[in-house]
Amino acid sequence: MLCPYCNHDESNVLESRDAYDGKATRRRRECLKCKKRFTTYEKVGNIELKVIKKDGRLEDYSREKLERCFEKACWKLTEDERSKIIDEMEMKLLNWESVEIPSREIGKMVMEKLEDIDPVAYIRFATIYLDVKNIEDFQKIISDFKSKNAK
């Protein structure tokens, strides 16, 4: 780890503890050359998943895309609530039988989550995900949702 003050590449770790609800490790360090102290954070790197798009292209998985999706659909939820939902989805994706996941499966997961937490967000997302082109399709989504949730 390079010292941010003198760029020396050796330091001692003085203290370590969990940060960001256990998703990172905070380390307090001291540079062996200039003796100044600094803090670093260690977290798991990018998830090595690939998304198979509708046209067959492979694309790197992007948490940011899911975050934007949930931010637009569930703007009433706090950032922490949205983050927990995405964390749950990522755990499912990491446990998928393959590292290549069809985008339609991710879309289904999003719809399932939205159906549970916000009916209006579910309808909004469904109109885009299911590529609704006319009023009849829109009405079908709403009637299917009502019949499914009339239990």
What are the pLDDT digits (tens) for 33-79? Answer: 999 999 999 987 666 899 999 999 999 998 899 998 888 888 888 88
- Split at pLDDT 50, 70, 90, the class of 151 is low
Instruction: Indicate the pTM of the whole model.
Output: 0.63
Contacts of 24 (CB under 8 A, 6+ apart): 18, 41, 42, 43
Q: Please, is 73 exposed, middle or buried when counting C-beta atoms within 10 Å of its C-beta (0-12, 13-18, 19+)?
A: buried
E strand spans, the chain: 11-19, 24-31, 37-43, 50-52, 58-60, 100-102
Token representation of residue 1: 């780890």
Length of the chain: 151
Strand order in 24-31's β-sheet?
Answer: 11-19, 24-31, 37-43
Write out pLDDT tens, residues 86-134: 988 988 998 888 899 999 999 999 998 988 888 888 888 888 888 888 8
Among candidates 89, 72, 78, which has minimal Cα distance to 127? 72
